[in-house]
Chain A
Amino acid sequence: MTSSKPSTEPSPSQSSPAPPVTASVRIAAPPDVVFPYFTDPALATRWIANAALLDARPGGVFSLDVRGNPARGEYLEVDPPRRVVFSWGIEGSEDLPPGTSTVEVVLEADGEDTVVTLTHRDLPTADFRRSHQAGWGEFLGILGGVARSAG
Protein backbone atom coordinates (compact mmCIF):
# COMPACT_ATOMS: atom_id res chain seq x y z
CA MET A 1 0.00 0.00 0.00
CA THR A 2 1.50 3.25 -0.97
CA SER A 3 -0.39 5.85 0.90
CA SER A 4 2.35 8.36 0.38
CA LYS A 5 2.15 11.38 2.53
CA PRO A 6 3.21 14.71 1.22
CA SER A 7 6.58 15.85 2.44
CA THR A 8 6.93 18.28 5.24
CA GLU A 9 7.45 21.01 2.69
CA PRO A 10 4.46 23.31 2.85
CA SER A 11 2.66 24.45 -0.20
CA PRO A 12 -0.54 26.31 0.51
CA SER A 13 -1.37 29.81 -0.49
CA GLN A 14 1.92 31.64 -0.42
CA SER A 15 0.60 35.10 -0.87
CA SER A 16 -2.04 35.69 1.77
CA PRO A 17 -0.94 38.64 3.86
CA ALA A 18 -1.19 38.72 7.60
CA PRO A 19 -4.67 39.82 8.62
CA PRO A 20 -4.90 43.38 9.88
CA VAL A 21 -5.35 44.21 13.52
CA THR A 22 -8.43 46.33 14.06
CA ALA A 23 -9.85 48.24 16.99
CA SER A 24 -12.56 50.81 17.47
CA VAL A 25 -14.01 53.04 20.13
CA ARG A 26 -16.93 55.44 20.52
CA ILE A 27 -16.05 58.83 21.93
CA ALA A 28 -18.54 61.40 23.17
CA ALA A 29 -17.10 64.25 21.13
CA PRO A 30 -17.32 65.25 17.48
CA PRO A 31 -14.64 64.22 14.94
CA ASP A 32 -13.09 67.68 14.75
CA VAL A 33 -12.35 67.46 18.47
CA VAL A 34 -10.96 63.92 18.27
CA PHE A 35 -8.88 64.30 15.12
CA PRO A 36 -6.08 66.47 16.55
CA TYR A 37 -5.24 63.75 19.06
CA PHE A 38 -3.72 61.93 16.08
CA THR A 39 -1.82 64.89 14.73
CA ASP A 40 -0.88 67.26 17.56
CA PRO A 41 2.18 66.11 19.57
CA ALA A 42 0.90 67.81 22.73
CA LEU A 43 -2.31 65.77 22.49
CA ALA A 44 -0.72 62.52 21.27
CA THR A 45 1.47 62.39 24.38
CA ARG A 46 -1.65 62.39 26.49
CA TRP A 47 -2.88 59.02 25.34
CA ILE A 48 -0.46 57.04 23.23
CA ALA A 49 3.12 58.19 23.54
CA ASN A 50 5.71 59.33 26.05
CA ALA A 51 7.18 61.54 23.39
CA ALA A 52 5.87 62.59 19.99
CA LEU A 53 7.24 64.31 16.94
CA LEU A 54 4.46 64.78 14.42
CA ASP A 55 4.22 66.69 11.18
CA ALA A 56 0.71 65.93 9.99
CA ARG A 57 0.91 66.27 6.25
CA PRO A 58 1.60 63.64 3.60
CA GLY A 59 5.27 62.75 3.87
CA GLY A 60 5.52 64.44 7.26
CA VAL A 61 7.27 62.71 10.11
CA PHE A 62 5.34 60.44 12.44
CA SER A 63 7.42 59.58 15.47
CA LEU A 64 6.16 58.23 18.78
CA ASP A 65 7.87 56.63 21.70
CA VAL A 66 5.35 54.09 22.86
CA ARG A 67 6.27 52.28 26.07
CA GLY A 68 9.90 52.39 25.09
CA ASN A 69 9.23 51.32 21.52
CA PRO A 70 10.47 53.86 18.99
CA ALA A 71 7.57 53.75 16.54
CA ARG A 72 8.55 55.59 13.41
CA GLY A 73 6.91 56.32 10.12
CA GLU A 74 5.35 59.09 8.15
CA TYR A 75 1.94 60.46 7.50
CA LEU A 76 0.54 59.11 4.25
CA GLU A 77 -2.90 60.71 4.18
CA VAL A 78 -4.26 63.51 6.32
CA ASP A 79 -7.91 64.32 5.77
CA PRO A 80 -9.23 66.17 8.83
CA PRO A 81 -11.45 65.40 10.56
CA ARG A 82 -12.33 62.14 8.88
CA ARG A 83 -9.27 60.08 8.15
CA VAL A 84 -5.57 59.84 8.81
CA VAL A 85 -3.14 57.20 7.58
CA PHE A 86 0.41 56.79 8.75
CA SER A 87 3.11 54.20 8.39
CA TRP A 88 4.48 52.42 11.41
CA GLY A 89 7.70 50.56 12.08
CA ILE A 90 10.31 50.07 14.75
CA GLU A 91 13.47 52.10 14.67
CA GLY A 92 16.62 50.01 14.81
CA SER A 93 14.99 46.96 13.29
CA GLU A 94 16.55 45.87 10.00
CA ASP A 95 13.57 43.74 9.17
CA LEU A 96 10.74 45.99 10.24
CA PRO A 97 12.15 49.40 9.43
CA PRO A 98 10.13 52.51 10.02
CA GLY A 99 7.35 52.74 7.51
CA THR A 100 6.80 49.01 7.06
CA SER A 101 3.24 48.66 8.28
CA THR A 102 0.31 51.02 7.87
CA VAL A 103 -2.23 52.35 10.33
CA GLU A 104 -5.48 53.80 9.04
CA VAL A 105 -7.71 55.75 11.39
CA VAL A 106 -11.26 56.61 10.32
CA LEU A 107 -13.43 58.97 12.34
CA GLU A 108 -17.16 58.76 11.71
CA ALA A 109 -19.62 61.16 13.24
CA ASP A 110 -22.58 59.40 14.86
CA GLY A 111 -24.93 61.88 16.41
CA GLU A 112 -22.77 63.84 18.81
CA ASP A 113 -20.25 61.05 19.07
CA THR A 114 -17.33 59.88 17.01
CA VAL A 115 -16.71 56.28 16.16
CA VAL A 116 -12.98 55.78 15.72
CA THR A 117 -11.97 52.73 13.70
CA LEU A 118 -8.32 51.83 13.51
CA THR A 119 -6.86 49.28 11.10
CA HIS A 120 -3.22 48.24 11.34
CA ARG A 121 -2.26 46.61 8.04
CA ASP A 122 0.73 45.12 6.27
CA LEU A 123 2.09 43.57 9.40
CA PRO A 124 4.80 41.04 8.74
CA THR A 125 3.26 37.65 8.99
CA ALA A 126 4.00 35.30 11.83
CA ASP A 127 2.99 32.39 9.64
CA PHE A 128 6.05 30.21 9.61
CA ARG A 129 4.77 28.04 6.85
CA ARG A 130 5.44 30.63 4.25
CA SER A 131 8.47 32.18 5.83
CA HIS A 132 11.67 30.31 5.69
CA GLN A 133 14.68 32.56 5.52
CA ALA A 134 13.52 36.09 4.92
CA GLY A 135 10.43 35.60 7.02
CA TRP A 136 12.39 34.57 10.04
CA GLY A 137 14.40 37.73 9.99
CA GLU A 138 11.27 39.76 9.59
CA PHE A 139 9.59 38.07 12.48
CA LEU A 140 12.61 38.43 14.71
CA GLY A 141 12.72 42.09 13.84
CA ILE A 142 9.26 42.54 15.22
CA LEU A 143 9.96 40.49 18.26
CA GLY A 144 13.08 42.51 18.87
CA GLY A 145 11.10 45.69 18.76
CA VAL A 146 8.45 44.33 21.03
CA ALA A 147 10.86 42.75 23.46
CA ARG A 148 12.92 45.91 23.80
CA SER A 149 10.14 47.45 25.80
CA ALA A 150 10.56 44.65 28.31
CA GLY A 151 13.79 46.35 29.30
Chain B
Amino acid sequence: MPASDVETLARTDAVLRALADPNRREIIRLIQDTELPAGQIATHFTLTQQAVSQHLTVLKRAGLLEERRDGTRRLYRFRPAALEPVRTMLEEFWPDALERLKRVVERDHPKKGAKEQ
Protein backbone atom coordinates (compact mmCIF):
# COMPACT_ATOMS: atom_id res chain seq x y z
CA MET B 1 0.00 0.00 0.00
CA PRO B 2 1.47 3.39 -0.94
CA ALA B 3 2.48 5.69 1.87
CA SER B 4 -0.23 8.17 0.92
CA ASP B 5 -2.85 5.51 1.57
CA VAL B 6 -1.38 4.79 4.97
CA GLU B 7 -1.39 8.47 5.80
CA THR B 8 -4.94 8.85 4.63
CA LEU B 9 -6.00 5.90 6.72
CA ALA B 10 -4.21 7.26 9.75
CA ARG B 11 -5.93 10.59 9.36
CA THR B 12 -9.26 8.94 8.78
CA ASP B 13 -8.77 6.83 11.85
CA ALA B 14 -8.03 9.89 13.98
CA VAL B 15 -11.21 11.54 12.72
CA LEU B 16 -13.20 8.41 13.38
CA ARG B 17 -11.94 8.11 16.93
CA ALA B 18 -12.56 11.77 17.61
CA LEU B 19 -16.13 11.49 16.35
CA ALA B 20 -16.88 8.31 18.26
CA ASP B 21 -17.72 10.33 21.38
CA PRO B 22 -21.13 12.02 21.62
CA ASN B 23 -19.79 14.94 23.63
CA ARG B 24 -17.23 15.67 20.97
CA ARG B 25 -19.88 15.48 18.28
CA GLU B 26 -21.91 17.94 20.32
CA ILE B 27 -18.93 20.27 20.51
CA ILE B 28 -18.66 20.21 16.74
CA ARG B 29 -22.31 21.04 16.41
CA LEU B 30 -21.78 24.05 18.63
CA ILE B 31 -18.89 25.40 16.61
CA GLN B 32 -19.77 24.26 13.13
CA ASP B 33 -21.01 27.69 12.10
CA THR B 34 -19.53 29.92 14.71
CA GLU B 35 -16.38 30.50 16.67
CA LEU B 36 -16.65 30.02 20.42
CA PRO B 37 -14.28 30.31 23.36
CA ALA B 38 -13.60 27.19 25.37
CA GLY B 39 -15.41 28.59 28.39
CA GLN B 40 -18.58 29.13 26.44
CA ILE B 41 -18.41 25.66 24.94
CA ALA B 42 -18.08 24.25 28.44
CA THR B 43 -21.31 25.90 29.60
CA HIS B 44 -23.23 23.59 27.26
CA PHE B 45 -22.06 20.54 29.15
CA THR B 46 -22.31 19.13 32.63
CA LEU B 47 -18.72 18.04 32.20
CA THR B 48 -15.91 19.78 34.01
CA GLN B 49 -14.08 22.43 32.08
CA GLN B 50 -11.05 20.17 32.20
CA ALA B 51 -12.97 17.33 30.56
CA VAL B 52 -14.23 19.66 27.86
CA SER B 53 -10.70 20.88 27.35
CA GLN B 54 -9.54 17.30 26.83
CA HIS B 55 -12.25 16.75 24.26
CA LEU B 56 -11.15 19.90 22.47
CA THR B 57 -7.61 18.59 22.41
CA VAL B 58 -8.71 15.32 20.82
CA LEU B 59 -10.71 17.19 18.19
CA LYS B 60 -7.83 19.52 17.51
CA ARG B 61 -5.40 16.64 17.03
CA ALA B 62 -7.80 15.06 14.57
CA GLY B 63 -7.80 18.35 12.70
CA LEU B 64 -11.52 18.80 13.31
CA LEU B 65 -11.23 22.26 14.77
CA GLU B 66 -9.20 25.37 14.45
CA GLU B 67 -7.87 27.12 17.49
CA ARG B 68 -7.26 30.82 17.59
CA ARG B 69 -5.90 32.90 20.43
CA ASP B 70 -7.54 36.16 21.31
CA GLY B 71 -5.73 37.65 24.27
CA THR B 72 -6.05 35.05 26.98
CA ARG B 73 -8.98 33.32 25.31
CA ARG B 74 -8.80 30.40 22.98
CA LEU B 75 -11.45 30.38 20.31
CA TYR B 76 -12.52 27.29 18.46
CA ARG B 77 -14.17 26.74 15.15
CA PHE B 78 -15.09 23.60 13.27
CA ARG B 79 -12.76 22.75 10.40
CA PRO B 80 -14.80 20.95 7.72
CA ALA B 81 -11.71 20.15 5.65
CA ALA B 82 -10.85 17.51 8.23
CA LEU B 83 -13.66 15.44 6.81
CA GLU B 84 -11.96 15.33 3.46
CA PRO B 85 -10.00 12.14 4.12
CA VAL B 86 -13.12 10.12 3.45
CA ARG B 87 -13.78 11.79 0.15
CA THR B 88 -10.10 11.96 -0.62
CA MET B 89 -9.92 8.25 -0.15
CA LEU B 90 -12.52 7.62 -2.84
CA GLU B 91 -11.11 10.30 -5.08
CA GLU B 92 -7.75 8.59 -4.89
CA PHE B 93 -9.08 5.07 -4.96
CA TRP B 94 -10.88 5.14 -8.30
CA PRO B 95 -8.14 6.79 -10.41
CA ASP B 96 -5.60 4.41 -8.87
CA ALA B 97 -7.85 1.47 -9.62
CA LEU B 98 -8.42 2.57 -13.22
CA GLU B 99 -4.69 3.04 -13.73
CA ARG B 100 -4.19 -0.53 -12.57
CA LEU B 101 -6.94 -1.61 -14.94
CA LYS B 102 -5.16 0.14 -17.79
CA ARG B 103 -1.85 -1.54 -17.00
CA VAL B 104 -3.44 -4.97 -16.69
CA VAL B 105 -5.51 -4.72 -19.87
CA GLU B 106 -2.62 -3.37 -21.91
CA ARG B 107 -0.33 -6.07 -20.58
CA ASP B 108 -2.90 -8.75 -21.34
CA HIS B 109 -3.63 -7.41 -24.79
CA PRO B 110 -0.47 -5.86 -26.14
CA LYS B 111 -0.69 -4.38 -29.57
CA LYS B 112 1.94 -3.22 -31.91
CA GLY B 113 2.67 0.46 -31.66
CA ALA B 114 0.82 0.70 -28.38
CA LYS B 115 1.29 4.20 -27.14
CA GLU B 116 2.04 5.29 -23.66
CA GLN B 117 -0.64 7.43 -22.14
Chain A interface (Cβ within 8 Å of chain B)? 8, 10, 21-29, 33-34, 37, 43, 46-48, 66-67, 112, 116, 118, 120, 123, 126-129, 132, 136, 139-140, 142-144, 146-147, 149-150
Contacts and interface: CB of A to CB of B under 8 A. Distances in A.
B109 A129 contact: no
Contacts of B86: 126, 139, 142-143, 146
Interface of B: 1, 5, 9-10, 12-13, 15-16, 19-20, 25, 28-30, 32-34, 78, 80, 83-84, 86-87, 89-91, 93-95, 97-106, 109, 111, 114-115, 117
A118 B9 contact: no
Classify the interface of chain B: helix, strand, loop or mixed.
Answer: helix
Contact of B33 (A29, A123, A126, A129): A129
A123 B90 contact: yes
Contacts of B80: 127-128
Contact of A27 (B34, B84, B87, B101): B101
Contact of A140 (B16, B28, B89): B16
B40 to A, nearest CB: 12
9 contacts: A8-B34, A21-B90, A23-B94, A23-B95, A25-B95, A123-B87, A128-B83, A140-B20, A143-B12
A143 B90 contact: no
Contacts of A143: 12, 15-16, 19, 86
Contact of A48 (B78, B101, B105): B101
A84 B95 CA distance: 17
Contact of A116 (B9, B33, B101, B111): B101
B32 A10 contact: yes
Given A129-B33, A142-B86, 8 more contacts: A22-B94, A23-B95, A27-B105, A29-B111, A116-B98, A126-B84, A128-B32, A136-B25
Most B Cβ at <10 Å: residue of A29, A116, A140 = A29
Contact of B106 (A21, A27, A48): A27
A47 B91 contact: no
The 6 A-B residue pairs with the shortest CB-CB distance in the complex, in nearest-first order: A23-B94, A25-B98, A150-B9, A47-B100, A143-B16, A23-B95
